[in-house]
Structure 1
Amino acid sequence: MRTQIVAVSDTHGLSQVLPLLEKAYPHASAYLHMGDLEDDPRLYPKWIFVRGNNDYMFGMEIPDARVVRVNDTRIYMTHSHRFGYSRREERIAAAAKENDCQIALFGHTHVPVARKIDGIWVVNPGSVAFPRDGKSSCYAVIDIEEDGTIELHLLHEEEWPFRLPAQNRRWFW
């Protein structure tokens, strides 16, 4: 049986995308958010969160990093703002490896990434609200086959199985 994981980061208040993702991927085994939700996480009980540098409200104790297990796969989650820019992805991969994880998910940069470092898949789903790479908004879908094979999909907005209503977009810059 295939395991499917939906991963987002840096929604920055564009929280209406979360229920749309749940509806688009109803059989997902996990919904993971890498921080900068800027909303009350209690409103999204299906999602697992880590704290971003802009998640300081709502009195919730959300960890800066955590390890989650989805079936037989261990996943390291962090927003990554505490990692700095120099060799960020390599240091995130090392933290995942120290925690016996096969996948490391991070956010903060708003730039999608999917690459293997020292045997660890390092994935940044980008930002569904404010991409910074000159491309459209993005999130990730991770499919894990029974044999442990991992397939990563970075889905840009033109590939999404849903559309955000225009009036729901928030643009700060």
Structure 2
Amino acid sequence: MRVCIISDTHGNMSKVTHYLEENLNFFDEIWHLGDFIKDTEQLKQKFGRPMIAVKGNCDFYQSGPEEIVREIDGKRVLLCHGHHHSVKSSLMNLYYYAVQQNVDVVCFGHTHVPVNEREEGILCFNPGSAAIPRAGFRASIGIMEFGSGRVVATHVHL
């Protein structure tokens, strides 16, 4: 299974839309990790792929879950925005929460900065921001592949 992971679009979907127009056939699902989850409606209508979305700190009046735990190919995956775990300061709170939730992978956003690191066997992955990157990074999304008991995550600069 291959997933396109986006976050922090803040209403600017032009780069994501352009990327998916050229690469949609590579993905089984699209995940949005918050901050303008209403942008997922545009993606659903245009591309018709299964979508999963969680709310971020800028999704005040939107309905939807704040986090989701899924099992894919024997791996437990936590999707959240990250603001409830102070990810702008450190990943430790998020890591400890992931341990409590007994997950193998945690996908989060909020910082607008790409992250792809393993801590004690837990993959912590932030696709960065598809619209408003920070800290000198370019706009980016993530690709996560599940298969043969492995999870491989990479960033794509838009």
Cα-to-partner distance string for 1:118-146 (whole Å, 9 max, x where unaligned) = 21000010001010021210111112231
Task: Give me the identity figure in percent.
Answer: 28
Does 2:10 match 1:9? no
Q: Is the 8 A contact 1:68 1:74 kept in 2?
A: yes
Larger radius of gyration: 1
2:124 aligns with 122
For 1:97 and 1:50, how far apart are their aligned partners in 2? 20
Cα-to-partner distance string for 1:40-88 (whole Å, 9 max, x where unaligned) = 544444211110111123xx42121121223432210111111225763
2:157 aligns with 156
Q: Which structure shows the higher helix fraction?
A: 2
For 2:80 and 2:21, how far apart are their aligned partners in 1? 21
Q: Residue 98 of structure 1: CA displacement?
A: 2.0
List alignment gaps of at least 5 residues for structure 1.
158-173
- Tell me how large the CA RMSD over aligned residues is: 2.3
Q: Give the 3 Å change call, closer, same or farther, for CA 35–149 of structure 1 in structure 2.
A: same
For 2:10 and 2:142, how far apart are their aligned partners in 1? 17
The number of residue pairs the alignment matches comes to: 152
SS in 1 for 2:84: coil
For 2:123 and 2:90, how far apart are their aligned partners in 1? 14
2:56 aligns with 52
For 2:6 and 2:56, how far apart are their aligned partners in 1? 12
Q: Is the 8 A contact 1:110 1:126 kept in 2?
A: yes
List alignment gaps of at least 5 residues for structure 2.
45-49
Pairing 1:47-126 to 2, within 5 Å after superposition: 47-57=51-61, 60-85=62-87, 88-126=90-128
SS in 1 for 2:118: strand
Q: Give the 3 Å change call, closer, same or farther, for CA 105–85 of structure 1 in structure 2.
A: closer
Q: Residue 102 of structure 1: CA displacement?
A: 1.1
